[in-house]
Chain A
């Protein structure tokens, strides 16, 4: 009786196992997809169709006018969401720059720190690692006021700098934790070989170590990028004009404006979710590993 049955079957051997399983699976597919489907659906509708009773569950006369409005708004669209329509392309650009810079900045800082945890036994390493982890737990709101005052003193308000710096504090702990795990899996022999070749530490890192750790670096970069892309509270405080406002701030303007068009609002949501969604779908495997690795990457 000890034939090794694959470890999975919790509900195995029961006739209704499959039924329950597939019903639940279907429920979850709908649960996960339908809400998102609804804003995608709206974003391709004319405002008139979106306001129809009963609602259309498919865009009857599909249109791109909502998305085209971001590039070339009609007089009507231009009034929506206190210029939010015209601001969307700039906000997207700002978000891209901020998120990308945050990712790069984090990788650089994170690599140094993570290398030390993966290769060196040193006093206080445990404490330091936990300090980094606790930093992740500090609620953004706790530091936002002093952060605002400091950035004001440094004349960094409404610039990319304030955002990149604040997002670095959110993403750095995650980066260090992900990288430290990946770095540990790089065989030490490679470093020793490089050392025998009289190769300096920086060159060894650049041409041997980091290329091998590429999956970890990519995972960490995606986590930082998404943290920066999705963040709203700091963006709300630190930015005031379109020279640094990011896409969540502009998307929120659609929601808080009273005479907003629901289809434009939906289109702004779709535009704002597109980059992270594409990253997630493309790097699924890495992200799942990264999330599961230490349960520390909330």
Chain B
């Protein structure tokens, strides 16, 4: 109750900062106090529900801790991490994850840039395409997994039927039971799901290009590709960087679509690190090792996100 009163009084007495010119009394402390009071609820939630669990997770990763045998909890230093780097399953999973990230990034950039360029043109039906772009974005990852499962189903999937009828294949293929097939399909599914976000960022980038640049290029009789290389691409580099960073994070921790689509199989062809992590925790209830896994994911993601934040800084997107 006292909090509310303080906020109220402070709000009433304080003139919003940066408002207009003119002499004003320095009121630093009051403003700071007021701002932090307003931020308290959010900071408490973040602190209790994110900061504390992350620390706790690290602490757990230094322990031998099985949920089913809580009495045997033991501090083991970095044993879990050592076990991790010598575990062939983890190393395979890491390779799969890196390959997954690379393929997903490649396809995302290729398809996303093309689609953004198309949407940046004026043509009949642009509005329709613009709305359709949001369709994959609305799709829950689990449904995305279900969807691609039914499409690549060996018996009832439309792909087999279509290719067979066109004479491309002479017998139905079990796409999802071949390691390469399953791997590529998970990547495809991931790209489909995250494409809208990429397109929106790139489209926002394209819309900031001044039209005069194209006019100038035209006067210089620059061809399509020259114009793309000399005008569009340089302006698109920063949005592309943002896309690369965000999609790297997304792909690195990709879970729900893959879990439903292949469950990590066949063999360990799609056993990306997040899926392996969840399976370790759910199946073996080994919380110590599971935490070590998630700390590897966290470290990579945090490193990448530092890149993200600093690139936003350079662009000036973060202004306070």
Interface residues of A (CB under 8 A from B): 1-2, 4-14, 18, 21-22, 24-25, 28-29, 31-33, 35-36, 38-39, 42, 50-55, 57, 108-110, 112-113, 115-117, 119-123, 125-126, 128-135, 137-147, 149-150, 165-166, 168-169, 172, 176, 188, 191, 195, 200-202, 204, 226, 229-230, 232-233, 236-237, 247-249, 251-252, 254-256, 262, 265-266, 268-269, 272-273, 276-277, 279-281, 284, 287-288, 291-292, 294-296, 298
Contacts and interface: CB of A to CB of B under 8 A. Distances in A.
B154 to A, nearest CB: 11
Contact of B38 (A21, A57, A113, A273): A113
B81 interface: no
Given A120-B34, A233-B278, A272 B140 contact: yes
A12 to B, nearest CB: 8
A195 to B, nearest CB: 7
Contact of B297 (A139, A280, A284): A139
Nearest to A126: B320
A42 B253 CA distance: 30
Given A25-B118, A295-B239, A38 B158 contact: yes
Given A7-B211, A138-B301, A112 B281 contact: no
Given A141-B294, A201-B11, A269-B143, A288 B211 contact: no
Nearest to A284: B131
B167 to A, nearest CB: 12
Contact of B45 (A1, A7, A109, A230): A109
A291 B200 contact: yes
B291 A145 contact: yes
A139 B46 contact: no
Interface stretch (B84-92, B95-103, B202-210): B202-210
Contacts of A195: 12
Interface string B196-231: 110011011000011110110011000010011000
Q: Which 4 A-B pairs have the closest CB atoms?
A: A7-B211, A201-B11, A137-B305, A122-B35
B294 A36 contact: no
B122 to A, nearest CB: 5
B224 A143 contact: no
Contacts, number: 355
From A31, A201, A204, A262, name the one whose CB has the most chain B CB atoms within 10 angstroms: A201
A280 B158 contact: no
Nearest to B213: A7
Contacts of A251: 140, 142-143, 146, 260
Contacts of B219: 1
Contacts of B232: 10
Given A172-B42, A201-B11, A233-B278, A137 B308 contact: yes
